[in-house]
Amino acid sequence: MQTQRPNALFRNLTAKIAALPMIATALFVFVGCTLWTVYYSFTKSRMLPSDKWVGLQQYERLWNTPKWQIAVENLLIFGFCMMILSLVIGFVLAALLDQKIRFENTIRTIILYPFALSFIVTGLIWQWVLNPDFGIQQVVRDLGWQSFEFNPLFNPDIVIYGVLIAAVWQGSGFIMVVMLAGLRGIDEEIWKAARVDGIPRWRTYVFIIIPMMRPVFVTALVLIASGIIKVYDLVKAQTNGGPGISSEVPAKYVIDMMFGNQNLGQGFAASTMMLLSVAVILIPWAYLEFGRKKHG
């Protein structure tokens, strides 16, 4: 038998000590470092962190910087398209694979392999495939369509769509896997009932299956959204923000400011804006997801 129970702090002491790395990570890194950055975004930090408080000045300057404005605009376009495309492609692929077709495993393996590759590798592959002199544009021209124009990586107006093509290639397979798991979780009886009622397949999908899969869609959306905010390596490898500054993204702006331009205050302010946008997505989701569970 154990000795008399000592005071509460020492009960389970081994477990507490074993969990120390996790506690330290949660408190020092996730809470501590985040608060630190938010605090210093209100200071005059440049090369080194400074304690001189300047209020919202960094934020004013941030929103007046063209590079940041372009970065935000790019992120909005990229984010919107990425969400729609990933969800649509992911769902359609999952629905196709769910038709009990042959070679399902092979097809899934082919669609998912890009997800194993890093964003650097992805960016470099697509930099080459979209190369104007040798890539898709040239191949189509060689086929006889001389005036064919598809050169996203060197056209400031559409460069972000070039990045988008690569990002969808890399990430949509993962969404397909999530969707497929959701589809497989749907009761076979529902399909039978719909068939008995003579409802066409596509209508069953649109009006019955998709509404039933709402939680899966929400999860997929959260996964895509948190990936979008983090986009950095892909742009770094594929375009390095170019041509000019036309494919900059916020995550790259932060790193450039902190480690390239020695302008820490701008980096802190920009990263705080990133945190804010995550919170805007995350808090309502967490509320819906966990709030409901407790009440229900």
Q: Which of residues 42-101 bind other proteins (CB under 8 A)?
A: 49, 93, 96, 99, 101
Is residue 207 a contact partner of residue 197, using CB atoms and an 8 Å limit?
no
Name the nearest CA neighbour of 254 among 234, 275, 237, 239.
Answer: 275
Residue for token pair 């009622």: 197
CB of 267 to other proteins, least distance (A): 7
**Residue in 6, 19, 195, 287 binding other proteins, rule: CB under 8 A:** 19
Rule CB under 8 A: which of 180-239 touch other proteins? 181, 219-220, 223, 226, 229-230, 232-233, 236-237
Q: Which is nearer to other proteins, 69 or 289 (CB)?
A: 289
Residue 183 has what DSSP assignment?
H
Q: Which is nearer to other proteins, 160 or 253 (CB)?
A: 253
**Residue span 120-159 as binding mask against other proteins, x where in contact by CB under 8 A, dash where not:** xx--xxxxxx-x--xxx-xx--x-----------------
**Residue in 70, 72, 178, 245 binding other proteins, rule: CB under 8 A:** 178
**Residue in 42, 59, 217, 268 binding other proteins, rule: CB under 8 A:** 268
Rule CB under 8 A: which of 276-295 touch other proteins? 278, 282, 286, 289
Buried-exposed string 50-80: b where 16+ CB fall within 10 A, e elsewhere? eeeebeeebbeebeeeebbebbbebbeebbe
Is residue 132 a contact partner of residue 138, using CB atoms and an 8 Å limit?
yes
Q: Which is nearer to other proteins, 15 or 196 (CB)?
A: 15
Name the nearest CA neighbour of 223 among 177, 265, 161.
Answer: 177
E strand or H helix that includes residue 150: none
Buried-exposed string 218-239: b where 16+ CB fall within 10 A, e elsewhere? ebbbeebbebbbebbbbbbbbb
CB of 194 to other proteins, least distance (A): 17
Q: How far apart are CA 32 and CA 50, in angstroms?
A: 18
**Residue in 12, 56, 185, 190 binding other proteins, rule: CB under 8 A:** 12
Q: Which is nearer to other proteins, 139 or 193 (CB)?
A: 139
**Residue in 6, 27, 156, 262 binding other proteins, rule: CB under 8 A:** 27
**Residue in 3, 4, 7, 15 binding other proteins, rule: CB under 8 A:** 15
Cβ neighbours of residue 174 closer than 8 Å, sequence gap 6 or more: 90, 112, 115, 223
